Amino acid sequence: MKFMLRENTIASIYHIANTIFMLEKKIKNNEKIPNPIKINLYVKISEKEKEKICKLLNNLILDVLYHNSNFVLEEKELKVTKPFENKEVKSSVICLFSGGIDSTTGILLSKNIFPDVVGAFIAHQDMTRTTELIKKINKNILSKKEIMLKKYLAPAMGLGYSQTRGFLYLLYGGISAHLHSANKIIISECGATMYQPKFSPLDTITYTTHPTVLQTAKKIIEIILKKNIQVITPFENLTKTEVMQITPQEDLFSNTHSCITSRWGKNCGKCYACLTRMIGSVNINGELDYFKENIFEMPNNENLSAFLRFCYDYILNQDEVDYWSLRTIKYYHKEDLFKRVCFDAFLALRKLKSMNCLDSSYEQILNDFEEKKSSELDIRLKELKKISIPNFNKKVISIE
């Protein structure tokens, strides 16, 4: 990625993205944080725009990592030993690609609407298993659909999970958009992940595609590129089951990776990403053998139990659901989305029970739910047989 340091615009976005990504590591390791945090800037922007970017970055770190940081953008002259030559083909659309079921479905469906779509895969230096998976998907699926996939090398992920990686990915998407002269970036994450609620007070949720992250990154890209960029979220109002229902190829289920970790070389079966994906798999075709472990066969699993209790109360006792579970859902008006998420969960339990593949510790909550909502479960099952429609006109709202 040495070319990223040979062009002013690219180098500016690159430094902002990587500074925030590395800052998270320092905060989590309780390392000393510089005050102010200086970020190199290689383009000319107004003082007002500099202040705007710094404020956006501070708010992002405060919201996501609960740390108050002070940023300063320092204008620097970019020293290059070799002139930058942009040899990338022009394209109107960049689609971020991670190798998960959402992004793979998203890029395949995007191709039908935007024939010139280019995929952008951000590869962390220490995630070789994910990179190898992407190579296989590119060879066996994307290339056969004549979809170009570009790889951009990012800093190592290291131990643990990064909450700012989504910010990094979208800014790298901005770099890709600049290189290909695109004005649209597609992020095909399902709504259940974008607006993931907390299931307990100390629960850690993923901010990868949270609206705060997307809005912040979008605005910074626009300031640096000096043009409007559309960030499209076509699956924002779809459940994981609905996304998997419209997946063009069923073999994508077992050949994609949506897990929070690539440690095992396959989906772990325990994290929230795996849980929602397993529910989708059960509802669509019952296939679960591509997960390392089957959470539905684990008695009283903490993650599954907490999720099912949330789903039960969300439908039947919402007045008793704690505010920290409902806050994001209500703030962004995703009540109907999560109603469908909850019904999908109990549909999966019902199917697993009929297959004798459900641990008895979950049968009581299923029986109680069915007793009260059996007819609505039947209605939801009929709904899932209809084709869900992704909305490629759904765009991230700009921050002024």
**Distance from C-alpha of 16 to C-alpha of 7, rounded to nearest angstrom:** 14
Percent of the chain surpassing pLDDT 90: 68
Average pLDDT for residues 237-264, to the nearest whole number?
Answer: 81
Task: Give me the pLDDT at residue 274, please.
Answer: 83
| Cβ within 8 Å of residue 36, ≥6 positions away | 70, 71, 72
Cα within 13 Å of Cα(321), Cβ side: 23
| Domains (range + CATH), the chain | 2-75 (no CATH), 93-232 (3.40.50.620), 247-384 (no CATH)
Which residue, 242, 316, 246, is CA-closest to 280?
242
Residue 204 in tokens? 């850690």
| Mean of per-residue pLDDT scores for the chain | 90
Q: Which two tokens stand for residue 87?
A: 């040899």
Least confidently predicted of 175-179, 263-267, 351-355: 263-267
Output the pLDDT for position 224: 97
Residue 310: band (very low, low, confident or very high) from pLDDT cuts 50, 70, 90: very high
Would you state the structure tokens that stand for residue 170, as one six-digit string?
A: 């979208």
Tell whether the model's pLDDT for residue 201 goes beyond 70.
no
Percent of the chain whose predicted confidence (pLDDT) is above 70: 95
> Which amino acid type is present at position 113?
I
- Cα–Cα distance between 328 and 258 in angstroms, integer? 22
Q: For the chain, what is the radius of gyration of the CA atoms? A: 22
Q: Give the tens place of pLDDT for each residue, 86-136.
A: 888 999 999 999 988 999 999 999 999 999 999 999 998 878 888 888 999
Tokens found for residue 314: 């969300």
- Helix segments in the chain, DSSP class H: 8-28, 47-65, 101-113, 128-137, 165-180, 191-194, 211-225, 240-245, 252-255, 272-284, 302-316, 323-331, 335-354, 363-384
N-terminal to C-terminal alpha carbon distance within the chain: 32
| Predicted local confidence at residue 251, as pLDDT | 79
Peptide bond into 248 cis (omega under 30): no
User: DSSP letter string over 106-118?
Assistant: HHHHHHHH-TT-E
| The model's pTM | 0.93
Q: How far is residue 365 from each of residues 231, 317, 345, 369, 370, measured CA to CA in Å?
A: 40, 13, 12, 6, 9
pLDDT at res. 288: 80
Q: Please give the biggest Cα pair distance in the chain.
A: 72
Q: Which amino acid is at 70?
A: N
pLDDT (0 to 100) of residue 204: 67
Q: Given a cut of 60, is residue 2 above it in pLDDT?
A: no
Q: Would the pLDDT of 381 be above 90?
A: yes
pLDDT at residue 203 in the model: 58
CA geometry: angle 51, 52, 58, nearest 5 deg:
90
Q: Does the pLDDT value for residue 1 go beyond 60?
A: no
- Examine the pLDDT at 260 and tell me if it is beyond 70: no
pLDDT in tens, 225-246: 999 999 999 999 999 999 999 9
